[in-house]
Structure 1
Amino acid sequence: MSSTQKDTIKVDLGGREVTVPKGGLYDRYRMDPDLEAIARDPRVSGVDFFRKLPKIKVDSPIGPTLTPNFYYTISTARLTMLAPSHAIRARLPEELSPLEVVPGLGLVSVMFFRYDVCDIDFYTEAAVGIAVKPARHGKLGLFDLVSGLKNEHLHSYVLALPVSTEIAQVRGHDGYGFPKWVTGLDVDIDNHRTTARVANDSGGVDLSLLANTPAQRAYVSGERVGSLTSYTTIDGAWHSTLNQTNVLSAGTTRSTSGITLQLGEGRMSDDLRSLKPKRTIQFDVMTEGQAALHMPVPTSVQSRSK
């Protein structure tokens, strides 16, 4: 038996069998963590953020589960770009509308995530997303735009969301309705450099990033908590998913100096090209943070005007 086989076990998620690390957080706790034990992990700076978020048991397409999903140590990077609204609308369901900076120009993002310690164990993730108006919000307000650029209260529709592990793919696709698939995906973020590489089906480059990390500012836990609401459909019905982020160290730059985004061949690069991005206007990096990802809930949306 190989070392990989020895170090993993099989678990069932709504009739789908996936492998997880033997002795990892999912194997030990099945989404019901011992916060005191996790607090002793040297990679985790604290667990106070999670003490105020009690988990509840819910039924879901992946079977009964506890929500929210806790992410104890994460790092993220996001490139925000301007793109023509007509290209964005062509990729959005008719019920959603782009968040526009000015008439005719919306916001799209390429994002990378590294989850070092979380309820479903280590994995990496990348995304191509579109900033949208909150469902049934009405006309754009200045507050929506400013909050979006500050990463405080974002609403999005995701076109591509590759991940590096089976459990992340099954939970994200079957449980949340996200367009997830498993691929080779490397994300490394520290105070100096931010690098990421998403592989395509043949092992080549789908999309990659090489950049200098913006200067970071430290925050006390709970001082800066942002939210992201994502819209998906599950069995034909619209749902919204809330993700709360506890920022511990982050920085932003509007300079594109030292940033190289390479588009290769694959699903992510195809999705980004379809949005016809014009230029990057902001680069956000969080070298340390935490998150609570809630299970999706049904939501009402209204078709946009033609």
Structure 2
Amino acid sequence: MPSTPQDQDTVEVDLGGREVTVPKGGLYDRYRMNPDLDAIARDPRVSGVDFFRQLPKTKVDSPIGPTLTPNFYYTVSTARLTMLAPSRAIRARLPEELAPLELVPGLGLVSVMFFRYEVCDIDFYTEAAVGIAVKPARHGKLGFFDLVTGLKNEHLDSYVLSLPVNSDIAQVRGHDGYGFPKWVTDLDVDIDDRRTTARVANDAGGVDLAFSAATPPQKAYVSGERVGSLTSYTKINGGWHSTLNQTNVLNAGTTRGTRGTRDVTLQLGEGRMSDDLRSLKPKRTVQFDVMTEGQAALHMPVPTSVPPRNT
């Protein structure tokens, strides 16, 4: 499928020997990951760039060739539906080195997530994910505080099973550069202060997974007031790596429990995302988080030690 509108001019760029198309005159075409923050600040869709001025970019070698890190996302909206699932089903999908983060013994946390990147260094795209909350790779026994901060979406560690996108450059960078299970498909994500909807297409154009819910009431935050982090674990060329994603929350809200999530509709169809979610055997929704406005900095993965786990 085309990852940019058919009536939009594109140019080809090389990423580690792979040619991908990007919008002509877009942020990647103009800046190649080295943005002019003053120019981006003038975009009416961007509320500010102070968060990014504190994060200088560095040049690194990677499987997609030399690149600058982190990748800046200037205007982002996200949704995350968190569910309880049996630890046994979760462990069956995790590499043996990783262990599920359990709310209580025998029950772990899994999520379906949706992302809309309105303005970013690699141009507009949408994304969806099925992920598992895991114990930090180099952390001792977890306590109640770790669970609370995890559920608050402040400091999470995860292992991702599915990560479809609707952009060629996002797929190549994510798959080849980060080791994520990414593929390109039709993927619609719409998030505003009233409603959150998403639809992920399968290979035949039908529904892989669809979602609809009322957006929780939003609370505004000053830039830098609430900054969360997500650490994801992947294998690249046989070695474990960790990827840090920092999120600057600007407007967000949460509903919890059965009553708070009764309006949520999650449709499982036929496809990779639905298959992955079914394999986890989710039992009950415990939380629904929506960020109608935020920003993010996605760092390139770094090698990490992931010791074998017996629990």
TM-score of the pair, normalised by structure 2:
0.97
**Pairwise CA distance, 1:5:** 7.3
**Structure 2: distance between partners of 1:259 and 1:91:** 25
**Pairwise CA distance, 1:7:** 0.5
What residue number does 1:223 align with?
225
What residue number does 1:183 align with?
185
- Of residues 239, 261, 283, the one that matches 2:266 is 261
The answer as to whether partners of 1:154 and 1:228 remain within 8 angstroms in 2 is yes
**Runs of 4+, deviation exceeding 6 Å:** none
**Structure 2: distance between partners of 1:198 and 1:296:** 26
Report Cα offsets for 1:34-81 as digits up to 9, x if no partner: 000000000000000000000000000000000000000000000000
**Pairwise CA distance, 1:136:** 2.4
The answer as to whether partners of 2:8 and 2:23 remain within 8 angstroms in 1 is no
**Structure 1: distance between partners of 2:97 and 2:286:** 27
Could you list the runs of 5+ residues in structure 1 that have no partner in the other structure? none
Could you list the runs of 5+ residues in structure 2 that have no partner in the other structure? none
TM-score of the pair, normalised by structure 1:
0.98
**Structure 1: distance between partners of 2:56 and 2:68:** 10
What residue number does 1:285 align with?
290
Secondary structure at the aligned position of 1:242 is classed as strand
Q: Give the root-mean-square deviation of aligned CA atoms.
A: 0.9
**Structure 2: distance between partners of 1:151 and 1:267:** 25
**Pairwise CA distance, 1:257:** 1.8
**Structure 2: distance between partners of 1:143 and 1:217:** 23
Secondary structure at the aligned position of 2:146 is classed as helix
**Structure 2: distance between partners of 1:303 and 1:167:** 34
**Structure 2: distance between partners of 1:305 and 1:258:** 39
What residue number does 1:131 align with?
133
Alignment of structure 1 residues 17-96 onto 2, 5 Å: 17-96=19-98
1:302 and 2:307 matched: yes
What residue number does 2:213 align with?
211
- Of residues 7, 10, 22, the one that matches 2:9 is 7
**Pairwise CA distance, 1:139:** 1.7
The answer as to whether partners of 1:186 and 1:196 remain within 8 angstroms in 2 is yes
Secondary structure at the aligned position of 1:4 is classed as coil
For this pair of structures, how many residues does the alignment match?
A: 304
**Structure 1: distance between partners of 2:200 and 2:8:** 27
**Structure 2: distance between partners of 1:152 and 1:17:** 36
**Structure 1: distance between partners of 2:146 and 2:208:** 32
The answer as to whether partners of 1:100 and 1:140 remain within 8 angstroms in 2 is no
**Structure 1: distance between partners of 2:228 and 2:46:** 19
The answer as to whether partners of 1:193 and 1:211 remain within 8 angstroms in 2 is yes
Letter in 1 for 2:133: A
Task: Note closer, same or farther for the CA distance 1:6–1:43 as it changes in structure 2 (3 Å cut).
Answer: closer
The answer as to whether partners of 2:187 and 2:201 remain within 8 angstroms in 1 is yes
1:108 and 2:113 matched: no
What residue number does 1:276 align with?
281
**Structure 1: distance between partners of 2:265 and 2:153:** 22
**Structure 2: distance between partners of 1:4 and 1:110:** 30
**Structure 1: distance between partners of 2:14 and 2:8:** 18
Report Cα offsets for 1:269-291 as digits up to 9, x if no partner: 00000000001000000000000
**Pairwise CA distance, 1:117:** 0.0
- Of residues 141, 145, 155, the one that matches 1:143 is 145
Letter in 2 for 1:239: H
